[in-house]
Structure 1
Amino acid sequence: MDFRVFILAASTVIIGLVELIVGGILPIIADDMNVSIGTAGQLITIYALVYAIAGPVLLTLTAKIERKKLYLITLGIFFIGNVLMFMSPTYAFMMFARIISAMSAALLIVLSLTITAKIVEPRFRAKALGYIYMGISSSLVLGVPIGIVMTNAFGWRTVFLGIAVLSIVSFILISIFLEAVPTGEAQSLSVQIKALGNKKLAGAHLATMFMLAGHYTVYAYFTPFLETTLQLSSYWISVFYFLFGIAAVAGGAFGGGLAARIGSKKSILLILGAFAISLFILPYSTFSTIVFVIVMMIWGGLSWALSPPQQDYIIETDPVTSDIHQSFNNSALQIGIAIGSGVGGFVLGKTESVVSTATVGAGIVVIAFICAAISLKMPTQSNISNKESHSSK
């Protein structure tokens, strides 16, 4: 495997850390900024929402800029965003810094994927992209426990200073080892939007969105959940987050293996159904720490198990424009995170009970199951998106 792929994968780990690393330290940030936990949770919401919109838009606007040059420029902006987070004097300033970080991160992740696809031989492309996705998922699930550990040791601001320093390391490695990467043909935003005319895949995107929304209704506020239901200390909360992260990373492999054995369509329904059940019973398992850890690990594993069969389903349904739909699916994921963290904050503010977030989250996942079932039953819309793709050339 080309070692440059591992450099890009390591870069995605650094970039991905920023999104959810605040999840485990929300109470500390809220206290320091004199806002409620629900309000602090909107730092996750705004990041995910901006990320979802900025990805395809910025990729189109920067289509004519040489890829390595664009990567380094964007990485510099990403560095600035994290320095601003470190220096933030007010909550409003933090929101501004998060927007800068989200826009730059969205473009960097897409560039990491597209550059990887260009620099490796076609026979190694799928495996190379797998390393990039592993970097993304690992950063998302392990960012929270890393944030907790660093915050407990040095304070929450050093978390973002550390990421800024790591981004400098990434900048140096990319500038030294990556050659100039020419631009390719970029499809216009109008073509990308028209691709959503495929109602079958639109249902798949909605399923992804609602699953992540249900998940983050709970996960974005998992720290206060653990503090309230199990009275855990900061040390044990970080341990529980690491266990969750291990399960989540393993869940990706489980989802891929399940799809290989029983097919992507059956896997999607099975994973969504089991995920809704695990979320619903989560607050009722706190009577025993052992039982709770088991349920939590199942929940964690299923949280990232949907991606492999979902991507396989997208490619199988519309192979010609699958790259566009994979981009939309990633945006749907981010919108789901934004909706979930927003809904969770609203529920927490209204009920003042972290337990209720699990019930609401499970209900949202049921909506995801319904969307997936409708999508799977719909006939394939042959040539609809294909015609749009060819007509744009």
Structure 2
Amino acid sequence: MNYRIFILVLGTFIIGTDDFVIAGILTSLAEDMNVSIAMAGQLVTAFAIAYAIGAPVLGTITFNIPLKALLVVSMLIFTIANGFSAIVPSFGWLFVTRVVAALAAALFTPLAMAASASLVPVTMRGRALSFIITGITVGLILGAPIGTWVGNTISWRYSFALVSLVSLITTIGVFIMLPKIEREAYISLKERLKSFNKTILLTLSVSIIATTGGFMTYTYIAPIITTITDIENISIFLLLLGIGALFGNLVGGYFTDRIGAPKTLMLTLAGFGMLLIAFSMLTLLNPSALSIALVSLVALLWGIPGFGMNPALNSYLISLSPHHASMILSFSASALYLGIGLGAVIGGGVISISSIDYVGLISGILVGIAFMIFTFVQHFFVKKRELK
């Protein structure tokens, strides 16, 4: 494996950290900025929707710019945005810096994938791409708990300062280590959209709805866990969730190869929905050693189906249109981030209208809806294929 890939992995790692750390510092950030938990959660919405829109649009309009230059500039902008996030005087300005950081991340991540594929032989491209994606997962496993610990021990502003520092190191590393990389053939946004059909759109809707359900709970995981356990610094719980997520990626890939993407996706959606509902059930307990143990168990298990569905979903999408795999996967990433943003919005609405105790329940119901839609999609796709 080309050692230069690891500087790109560091980039996706810090982007994943920046994305996921918000959940861990949400309570302290809301208190310091004098806004509600639901309002603070909209920072996740801003980041996710900006990323979802920015990935395909920015990737198209910046196509004629050299790849290495774009990687350096996008990571530099990401560095500056997070640096300003650490010193902003108001919530409004923090909102702006989060959008800028998301747009920079939306440009960097697909470019990092393209660069990694060009740095290795064709026979190693799959592993190179998996390394880049693993960087984001490690951001959840390691980066988010560290950032949460820093934010809750010192100040949430230091979480962004830490992200900015590592991003600056990444920017310098990309500039020094990467060679000039040729761009692939240009494909317009209009051409990308031509590869879509009803089955692909419905499958992407499964991703959006399931992710919305999952991130309804994840965005507000800090106050949820604090309510159940009476523990304010939840970094250890985020670490457990991250370990489950890493294991889930591996298990999801394994079962996708062994029993097929459709069965794997249905199993993970069913398990994911039940574990999300468990968070609402645990709010019925009084804070105790038992509640801490149960939350730890649910957090660890949650990451397995929650992240295990991703390999199955992407494999299924590729099977629907193998000749347009890269384009479909770019929209799959956009669907993922759109779901993240919607999760923060709907979760905030649930908290405002009722109580944080119901967030897990509504999350599980949404994932159940995603399960039913995919059951229909799979039946429709198989039946249509058999008729041909």
Distance 1:130 1:17 in 2: 17
* Aligned match of 2:8: 8
**What residue number does 2:300 align with?**
297
Residue 377 of structure 1 is aligned with which of 376, 379, 383? 379
Counterparts of 2:340 and 2:146, CA distance in 1: 20
| Counterpart in the other structure of 1:337 | 340
Aligned 1:42-191 pairs, distance under 5 A: 42-191=42-191
Deviation at 1:294, TM superposition (A): 2.2
Tell whether the 8 Å contact from 1:248 to 1:300 is kept in structure 2 after alignment. yes
**Distance change in 2, residues 1:141/1:328 (3 Å):** farther
**Contact conserved, 2:26 with 2:41, CA < 8 A, in 1?**
yes
Q: Which residue, out of 312, 322, 339, partners 2:325?
A: 322
Partner of 2:277: 280
Provide the rounded CA distance (Å) in 1 between the counterparts of 2:90 and 2:139.
26
Match of 1:204 in 2: 203
After alignment, is 144-153 or 242-251 more displaced? 144-153
The residue matched to 2:381 in structure 1 has which SS?
coil
Deviation at 1:141, TM superposition (A): 4.7
Q: CA deviation at 1:83?
A: 1.4
Distance (whole Å) between structure 2 residues aligned to residue 41 and residue 299 of structure 1 = 21
Higher mean C-alpha deviation, range 294-303 or range 121-130: 294-303
SS at the partner of 2:184? coil
| Deviation at residue 101 of structure 1 after TM alignment | 0.2
The Cα shift of 1:44 comes to 0.4
Tell me how far 1:190 sits from its aligned partner: 0.8
Paired residues of 1:285 and 1:295 also in contact (CA < 8 A): no
SS in structure 1 opposite 2:63?
coil
> 3-state DSSP class of the match of 2:65?
coil
Tell me how far apart the structure 2 counterparts of residues 295 and 229 of structure 1 sit (CA, whole Å).
12
Residues 247-286 of structure 1: CA deviation (Å, up to 9, x unaligned): 1111100111111221111101111011111112233246
Cα distance in 2 for partners of 1:340, 1:141 equals 20
SS at the partner of 1:304?
A: helix
Residues 151-177 of structure 1: CA deviation (Å, up to 9, x unaligned): 133311111111111112111211111
| CA-based RMSD | 1.5
Q: Could you tell me which of 309, 313, 320 is aligned with 2:312?
A: 309
- Contact 2:2/2:120 (8 A) holds in 1: yes
How far off is 1:203 after superposition?
1.6
Question: Could you tell me which of 367, 370, 373 is aligned with 1:368?
Answer: 370
Displacement of 1:204 in angstroms is 1.4
Structure 1: gaps of 5 or more residues? 383-393
Aligned partners of 2:13 and 2:143 also within 8 Å: no
Letter in 2 for 1:334: Y
Determine the structure 2 residue equivalent to 1:268: 265
Displacement after TM superposition at 1:69 (Å): 0.9
Q: Deviations over 1:189-229 (max 9, x none)?
A: 11222323x11111211111111100011111011011112
- Which runs of 5 or more structure 2 residues have no equivalent in the other structure? none
- The aligned amino acid for 1:221 is Y
Mapped contact 1:47–1:98 kept (Cα < 8 A): yes
Match of 1:385 in 2: none
Q: What fraction of aligned residue pairs are identical, expressed as a percent?
A: 32
Question: Using the alignment, how far apart are the partners of 2:276 and 2:170 within structure 1?
Answer: 37
What secondary structure does 2:279 align onto? Answer: helix
Contact 2:22-2:44 at 8 Å conserved across structures: yes
Alignment counterpart, residue 355 of structure 1, candidates 354, 357, 369: 357
- The one-letter amino acid paired with 1:270 is L
1:8-27 equivalences in 2 (<5 Å): 8-27=8-27
* Per-residue deviation, residues 87-139 of structure 1 (Å, max 9, x unmatched): 11001100110111000011000110111111211000001111111101221
Aligned length: 378
SS of 2:71's equivalent in the other structure is helix
CA distance, structure 2, for counterparts of residue 143 and residue 222 of structure 1: 16
Letter in 2 for 1:29: L
Matching residue of 1:389: none
| Secondary structure, aligned partner of 2:322 | coil
Kindly tell me: are residues 202 and 142 of structure 1, through their superposed partners in 2, closer, same or farther at Cα, counting changes over 3 Å?
A: farther
- Decide whether the 8 Å contact of 1:86 with 1:160 is kept in 2: yes
TM-score in terms of structure 2 length? 0.94
Verify the 8 A CA contact 1:47 1:99 in the aligned structure 2: yes
Alpha-carbon distance in structure 2 between the residues aligned to 1:182 and 1:243: 40
Give the C-alpha shift of residue 53 in structure 1. Answer: 0.3
Shift of 1:241: 1.3
The answer to whether the 8 A contact 1:203-1:374 is kept is no
1:215 aligned partner: 214
> Compared with structure 1, are the counterparts of its residues 298 and 163 closer, same or farther at alpha carbon in structure 2 (3 Å cutoff)?
same
Cα distance, 1:63 vs. partner? Answer: 0.5
